[in-house]
Structure 1
Amino acid sequence: MDRQTRKMRRVYYGLIVAFSVLIVLGLVNVFSSTFVGDRMIGNTYYHLIRQVIILFIGVIPALFVYRVDYTFWRRHLGIICFITVTLLVLVFIAGIHINGARRWLGIGFFTFQPSELAKLVGVIYTATILSQLLDKDKPVELVHAMSHKKKAPAWKRWKLKPERALWIPLVLAILVAKQPDAGTAIVILLIPVIMVIASGAHISRAKLPILVAVSMGLIYTLSAVYRRNRLISWIDPWSYEKTLGYQTVQGLIAIGSGGITGQGVGTGVSKFSYLPEAHTDFAFAIFAQEWGLIGSIVMLSLFAVIVYCGCMCALHALDKYGMLLALGSTLYIGGQGFINIGMVSGLLPVVGVPLPFISYGGTSLIVNMAAAALLLNIAKKNLNEAAREAQMSARVTTLPSMKEETKSQFPLH
């Protein structure tokens, strides 16, 4: 086995181990953070059972994503985007209200959150459009001069040209922001923007659209009282520890009280009605309290392994589409992980982004498993290609030696 094959094998199995450990830790954390409340309703294992059922349901689409060639998503991009936009529009018509927001569609006892699917669809769309441009050796520019005629008006001389790579993510982000769900909308748009930049976009030529985008983002953030309160509580949570900053302060207390080794699995005290959303957005706080600094480092290391292996998949992908798809999938999982941990630890504002595989939630777990399967699909293809090239190289090197051996056995006179 040559060096390249060994490297791709380490990447492939590194991803499998990291995803598997995160899923197991997620199930343990869901049970630990919910059994107190579940015991009050007469079923200590209610949330755990639901999460396990969702896990087995998620295996079906994950296996499909893993086995089918990843170019399948590029060929069916139109229908995928249409279904996603339709689901997001249906949320406004027949969505379920939970905690003052309309983000879910109900099918019997099962609820589905289309915005989670929109994150991954935005990645697939951006990867498809950018790969088409790169395959044709076209530059990825955010601003394009349409006309240099002095008499032409400004709106004709200059035109926003994100090369179509950001239009669908922008539409998805706007629909999600109207639910309202600002955190998810930011993720939907931020990952494609990073992908565009990584593809070689000239940011210096996009000063005007960047300024407009930042201005619109600030206006949107400050237009609602609860979003302004989140910024205020993020800047100085301890001054509002009983009101606006209560959740952030309780999260910091939970993390700090874990110490080096933690209070022990199931024995953390913050889940006893102290920390809101202990099993969803602030699941990491409970994990840090019960597993301590050592457990937190382990979790950060698992996400770091995913990011490293995902970048290796992108660097050694067989084509531009696979490279961008691997990059987007890595940003989807690793980016959300670090955003959530930063949010819980007070480094970022509370934006409602779940911790992949750890936070309780059916739709997020299914989509996370699909994204993991997509990354493993690319890693497996890289491994197979490296092994095939190694075999071909071995055959080429053995042919001359066989010829020399034949000559020595049957010398010509």
Structure 2
Amino acid sequence: MDALDGFFIAEKRSQTLDGSIPVRASQGCKPFLEGNGAGVQLRLAPTMILEASRPPRLRTSRDVKERISALHAAALPRLIAAGVLEQDGYWHRLLKQGFMWTADGEIHIWTGLLARAAPGSCILLGPAFNRRCRIHVGESVIADDTKFVPLVLRLDPLSINTATALNRGELACLTPLLAKTSLRTERIRANPALVTEFDEFYDPEYTTRREGRKQTGKYRRLVQGERSDSWVNQESRIIDLGGPECFTIRSFSEFVTSTGPAEGHPYQETLSYADVRTICRINGRYDGSYVSGPFVKIDRPARKLAALWDDVGANLSGTALKLLTNYANRVADQLQEPHITVVPWLFVATPSGWSTLIDGYSARHLEGLRGIISTDLYPFNPAPVMRVDGPGGFALPKGAPLARILPVPRALLHAPVKRVSSPTADT
């Protein structure tokens, strides 16, 4: 629901980012395409400049400020009269400050939008991925499926060092999640069949085609006809391949409802994800044309992994084992395509109809991208992709945050978004 007449635009974007991605990626990289299209993107309509000053300042034209202020002043009484906001409740007191305010060193902007989750689900409000404004946006979970919740963005001015136009690229994203999403950890010893399937997928022919810079089409063929009709909570599995410890099961910490922040919300116990981190140092350099590296030192862990898999009885071909022990790779040896991928030493297996969101974490000179893997049909490594952010060196130390792994039903990811024009409490 929009209360500020288009101050922010909520939209589904195209999987090709309006034709801006490389043709080869649009033809062959289904996980990247689905990551581009996932969620509802929030984009600022008017021009606003965030200045990296102390304290930070947000600049816009007088006409824009006066127009949004007038819309804001009219919106609050209307929302209260309709029963969407509670008179003098948490959100009313907060929004009375204006459409923009500063608190705890962050800039808060009310987008003018309000959202309500579908029954049994919630909404992750956080940064956009794959084409975004460069400023960091704080995360929270909209945990209310009965009433509307104002969408307030928290911007960290310390994440930029120059003035940034907030209307260039998507600023934030709404991603639907199932409120009950559980992950169970298993060992590879209990899953020898997965090792065999992994070896069969990454056969010598696959590697030959990849080394020849050709698309294999193998993943696309594997997931053809995938189901998207399951929306029932079932436990997903994250399988430790036996190398150094590389992931931790976590839950979200910030939940908000129609009454305000909800500490100790029940979803904290039911909504799980895995934080994945690096098992060794990764470094390289981008000269503006090609990526050198990424380089890793992984000999000892690789020998330990190979010995464990031999003990499990896995007769891995050289190509499948090489994928794991190389660990970090260039996505492609193409001019001005500075992307690297890391193959974490874990598998993710989800129930039928479920996929896995892979949200890469960003670091200095590296931007983590979003991808989606159909892990019910491809229960192997969910490999995050990172884009090198400009010429120069890049590095990730051992133990650095790499990606968030989060199972989601495809039926929920593909569910339509209902837009409401009038602020009625019983909509």
RCO greater where, 1 or 2, for CA within 8 Å and sep 6 or more? Answer: 1
Regarding TM over 0.5, the answer is no
Give the structure with the larger helix fraction: 1
TM-score by length of 2: 0.27
TM-score by length of 1: 0.28
Larger Rg: 1
